[in-house]
């Protein structure tokens, strides 16, 4: 999962630099969204995995 975070960070920084130099607002918006995802995708994936594990545990107890 750390590779996804690093990849999002690098892509976000590159998009930020290119968008700033070319004065493209849409690319700057994409860079902001990707950088946000770089910081939050790890927590989201961890919580999703934990929720699946707890759901499977509850389902197996109800059998």
At 13, the pLDDT band (50, 70, 90 cuts) reads: very high
At 63, the pLDDT band (50, 70, 90 cuts) reads: confident
- pLDDT at residue 1 tops 80: no
CA-angle at 29, arms to 23 and 30, nearest 5°: 110
Rg of the Cα trace of the chain? 18
At 42, the pLDDT band (50, 70, 90 cuts) reads: confident
The model scores a pTM over 0.75: no
For residues 4 and 44, the answer to whether their CB atoms sit within 8 Å is no
At 26, the pLDDT band (50, 70, 90 cuts) reads: very high
């Amino acid at each position: 999962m750390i590779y996804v975070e690093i990849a999002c960070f690098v892509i976000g920084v590159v998009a930020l630099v290119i968008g700033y130099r070319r004065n493209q607002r849409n690319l700057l918006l994409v860079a902001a969204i990707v950088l946000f995802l770089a910081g939050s995708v790890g927590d989201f994936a961890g919580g999703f995995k934990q929720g699946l594990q707890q759901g499977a545990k509850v389902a197996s107890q109800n059998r």
